[in-house]
Amino acid sequence: MSKNILLINPWIHDFAAYDFWLKPLGLLYLGGLLRANGHEVSYLDCLDPYSPLMLEKGIRAPRRHAHGHGRFFRRVIEKPSCLQSLPRSYCRYGIDPDVFSMELAKYKNTDLVLVTSMMTYWYPGVAEAIRIVRDILPGIPVVLGGKYASLCFDHATAFSGADYVIRGRGEKPVLDLIENLFGETPAFVPPEDNLDALPYPAFDLLRRIDQIPVTTSLGCPYRCSYCSSHLFYKKYLRRDPVLVACEIEHWQKSSGVTDFSFYDDALLVDPEGMIIPLLAEIKRRNLSCRFHCPNGLHVRSIDKDMSRLLFNAGFKTIRFGFETADFQCQKDTGGKVQNDELHSAVIHLKNAGYASADIGVYLLCGIPGQKAADVLQSIDFVLQCGAKPVLAEYSPIPGTKMWPDAVSASIFDIEDEPLYHNNSLLCCRNEDFSYEVYSGIKAKLKGWVY
Ligand code: B12
């Protein structure tokens, strides 16, 4: 017998949050799979920027950009006591809790609630959503999964309020749980290593499709010391590029969407294995898309042909994971890039038609032991190359190679309190690279004209 399953994307509680092509892709993948198993799936999005109930309350709609990014609704809320030292306001991003409760009351016949989680330090929004679910839908089992659940499993078990906390990929565990709870033998269990067997994510459940995130792979062939990708996905798995093009065509034809964001950790590596055949297939099908890469791309793959390919295919938002111009640090953190590679990549990209402001280069800021001079030199190098430096404040992640260094370097108890993983806190700052120095650098960059 089919079950009624409610998917929930919880709130973000943070100092800052911007919808930079942000959607709960993993949760919606599970939605697609549950439907393929005959279940009725519904979706409630605490972050919904288009909520009519919010507008009915007279709240101004958040400003959105035509390419599928923009602001969320937000309310200033009380800052958790352990974050008091940062003199910035703290907000709940998303719809108001009373609107969430009203929406939730429509799902009294729910059999199971699935809640996702992203950043570890967003857990208060997860716990708040689960508290309200308990109140409005008493007795209904609540399952939590996603990044926070995986990276801080013990914390999530103790503090989220969920009945079940699942770490890692959710496909099989969720089907197993449904079997255990309701005696439902799954009709379709996708093979773990075959991403092509997964049904499409349930994007049609969104109130409005303003962009579609796509992932052509799970995991990463690199093992960078600050990153947790390899902890989630032991193997680097890729889809068939032709089937990725089929998915893009499907969403474009069914919803008219033109903006697509890639969530891959390594979209451009081994170009013959993915990006070249994928873009050829998109061209062959005459699809007209805008592509956005909020998650960093690998600089190493950018040559003359790749630059032209990306430009002509409609890659509008490009960000590179460069992290630092310091050779030793590049080597120590994973060796994915070197300075001359960025230099030549920018030349090729500009020759292909990109402007400096289009070429965003992420620089890791505030890693353990980092000196202000390192960040300043990295910024200078990116500017000399003719690209745009984008500061990415380091968020320490349990289980990564850099984690023990972060634990010893941090002035905060990052082991016991995930709120201290917040990138805005710059938790591994030091005397040389203080919060004030960092704020000065950030302000200077903000006023830079490219
Ligand atoms: C795409 C991405 C982004 C996008 C936004 C995506 C989004 N939806 O929020 C952008 C580029 C904006 C982004 C930004 C940042 N990100 Co990011 N991002 C990712 C990335 C690459 C992919 C996430 C994803 O959607 N994967 C694909 C889906 C299919 O997988 P999934 O979500 O894991 O879902 C599966 C399971 O988790 C599970 N599951 C999910 N939900 C549920 C629910 C239930 C009930 C169950 C049972 C299972 C389950 O099943 C799913 C299917 O198998 C991850 C790394 C990674 N490889 O996962 C980092 C990651 C989440 N980001 C990270 C970081 C550090 C950041 C930044 C702080 C970087 C910076 N310094 O600026 C910023 C912060 C943004 C902000 N403050 O707003 C860290 C997490 C840090 C933390 N402490 O939690 C990660 C893990 C990367 C890393 N460095 O290791 N990010």
Residue nearest to atom 20 of ligand 1 (CA): 263
Residue nearest to atom 80 of ligand 1 (CA): 119
Q: Fill in the amino acid letter for 286.
A: N
Q: Tell me how far the alpha carbon of residue 4 lies from the centroid of ligand 1, in angstroms.
A: 26
- Measure CA 360 to chain center: 17
User: Does 347 lie in the same domain as 396?
Assistant: yes
Give the 3-state secondary structure of residue 94: coil
- Scanning the structure block, which residue is given the tokens 């893009």? 248
User: Does 392 lie in the same domain as 275?
Assistant: yes
Our count of domains for the chain comes to 2
Asked if residue 199 belongs to a domain, the reply is no
Domain boundary, last residue among 182, 217, 234? 182
Asked if residue 174 belongs to a domain, the reply is yes
Asked if residue 228 belongs to a domain, the reply is yes
What CATH number is given to the structural domain containing 119?
Answer: 3.40.50.280
**pLDDT at residue 448 tops 90:** no
Asked if residue 198 belongs to a domain, the reply is no
| Closest residue by Cα to residue 308 from 275, 281, 333, 340 | 275
Domain boundary, last residue among 182, 217, 249? 182
User: Does 314 lie in the same domain as 431?
Assistant: yes
- pLDDT tens sequence across 24-59: 999 999 999 999 999 999 999 999 999 999 999 999
User: Does 155 lie in the same domain as 86?
Assistant: yes
Q: Tell me how far the alpha carbon of residue 59 lies from the centroid of ligand 1, in angstroms.
A: 29
Residues with CB under 6 A from ligand 1: 17, 20, 22-27, 29-30, 114-116, 118-121, 143-147, 150-151, 166, 169-171, 173-174, 215, 227-229, 232, 263, 265, 294-295, 392-393, 395, 397, 421, 423
**pLDDT at residue 1 tops 80:** no
User: Does 216 lie in the same domain as 315?
Assistant: yes
For residue 425, what is the DSSP state? G
- pLDDT tens sequence across 135-155: 999 999 999 999 999 999 999
pLDDT at 447: 82
d(CA 301, CA 348): 11
User: Does 353 lie in the same domain as 222?
Assistant: yes
d(CA 181, CA 449): 58
Q: Tell me how far the alpha carbon of residue 262 lies from the centroid of ligand 1, in angstroms.
A: 12
User: Does 366 lie in the same domain as 248?
Assistant: yes
Q: Give the other-Cβ count within 10 Å of 350's Cβ.
A: 17
Residue nearest to atom 76 of ligand 1 (CA): 17
Question: Domain span at residue 83?
Answer: 4-182
Asked if residue 189 belongs to a domain, the reply is no
pLDDT at 113: 98
Give the residue-averaged pLDDT of 215-243. Answer: 95
**pLDDT at residue 404 tops 90:** yes
Paired residues of 441 in beta bridges: none
User: Does 151 lie in the same domain as 228?
Assistant: no
Give the residue-averaged pLDDT of 268-292. Answer: 97
User: Does 170 lie in the same domain as 88?
Assistant: yes
What CATH number is given to the structural domain containing 399?
Answer: 3.20.20.70
pLDDT band per the 50, 70, 90 thresholds, residue 450: confident
Distances (CA, A) of 132 to 49, 76, 142, 311, 370: 20, 19, 11, 46, 42
Angle between the N-to-C axes of helices 339-352 and 372-385, in degrees from 0 to 180, rounded to the nearest 10: 30
Q: Tell me how far the alpha carbon of residue 140 lies from the centroid of ligand 1, in angstroms.
A: 27
User: Does 131 lie in the same domain as 214?
Assistant: no
| Closest residue by Cα to residue 315 from 361, 285, 359 | 359
Radius of gyration in angstroms for the set of CA atoms belonging to the chain, rounded to a whole number: 22
181, 192 Cβ separation under 8 angstroms: no
User: Does 76 lie in the same domain as 16?
Assistant: yes
Residue nearest to atom 35 of ligand 1 (CA): 26
- pLDDT tens sequence across 334-385: 989 999 999 999 999 999 999 999 999 999 999 999 999 999 999 999 999 9
63: left (phi over 0), alpha (psi -120 to 50) or beta: beta
Asked if residue 203 belongs to a domain, the reply is no
User: Does 64 lie in the same domain as 139?
Assistant: yes
Asked if residue 192 belongs to a domain, the reply is no
Q: 0.75 exceeded by the pTM?
A: yes
Asked if residue 196 belongs to a domain, the reply is no
Domain boundary, last residue among 163, 182, 201? 182
